[in-house]
Structure 1
Amino acid sequence: MLTDQAIVAALRAAPPRDGYRCSDVRAEGGVLGVTFSHSGAPSARLEVRLPSTGAPQWWLFAPPEDADDWVSQFLVWTDEEVHTDGLGDSRERLDVDGVSHVVPTNYGWQLSDPREHARLTVLAGPFGWHDGGRTTWPDGSRSVPAAGQQHAGHVADRAEPRLRLRRDALVLRPGTSARRARCHEPPAVRGRRADAQRPHPDTGYVRDD
């Protein structure tokens, strides 16, 4: 069973990251907090809701087999965010009790450009680019939770009905690297991804994942 305690233990035991550091890993009330630091950029705290809360898990590209798998997928997501200026000026910061936070969204870490933020929020959809941000329950079904999660500690969840989906509905494409792993996607999701990869006419931003 995927528990909050197992996820925290697995993240604390994870190997060092390439070019940045994860520290102060803590969970309270279903919220996981991690501090990221990178040379030449100010550190930032990230808070995300854990599977126990039923909140969207936007970083997942496949249902996690266990806590180690959840952490592995989570760190693929943080790798991509940090290495695309995730700790720099391109991302929005939120001050929480004097601590600077980056803000998780369905497309990644919230951009500081409000137009791009609005555009990518729509394109990514409530469950993220992989459409895999759904909680997997012990019986193999997956729920559709509230779509309105922004900063973990500041937006209340709204209960929504559970939809039962087969656990094997999302599988990795053979031969795809873990960093670029993709799920088999319905046409609507593929269409959103194609739109997202078109450069924005004003900013030129392309979501490359």
Structure 2
Amino acid sequence: MVGLAPAALAAPDAIDGTATAATAKVNKAGTISDSGPQAKCVVDETSTAHSNGAAVSGVYRLGASDTSCTRAQNRDVTVTADETRFQLDAVPDHLVRIAKLHGECKSTPQNVSFSSSFEGIQGLDLPPKIDPGYTAEIKGKNGATAAKFVFSEITKNNNGELNINQLHVTTYAAGGASADSDIVLGNIGCSTTF
């Protein structure tokens, strides 16, 4: 991919919890679009956030999205991200749609856990159970990868901080897509609470 850094692979700020509904960087015929963080929340700062959606014509569309970052009286943290109506139309003759995505991260002083769910997936051949890190690809007419989808992409550092991208989509113009793009839906971060 030319001229694009990953949209949201770095761990969120090392706070107890943060979520961003979506980020997208697109290079379409030399024109770069950067959505910036959509619906970002941070525990103890911004408890909820909403986005009406984002789009780049001929590449992707995303409907309304919401995030929530809360701390209970016992100091436990719950972070959620919900996205609706994602559509990838960057690959000619291959439309991908996902009706709903939900991700949740919970942290206590002893543990960090994550769950994720996807509803209404069309245009991808997926197993009945999608394990974290599962990758699906769409090949272009030239046989090269046109789009890659990584589900529940998880990283964990030595401090116990957990970072999850519910869905990480990358498109490649060299594979026949309309643009090079890096799209992350539901970037969620939790750390053990002190």
Name the TM tier (shorter chain): under 0.3
Q: Which has the higher helix share?
A: 1
Larger relative contact order (Cα-Cα within 8 Å, sequence gap ≥ 6): 2
Q: TM-score, normalised by structure 2?
A: 0.25
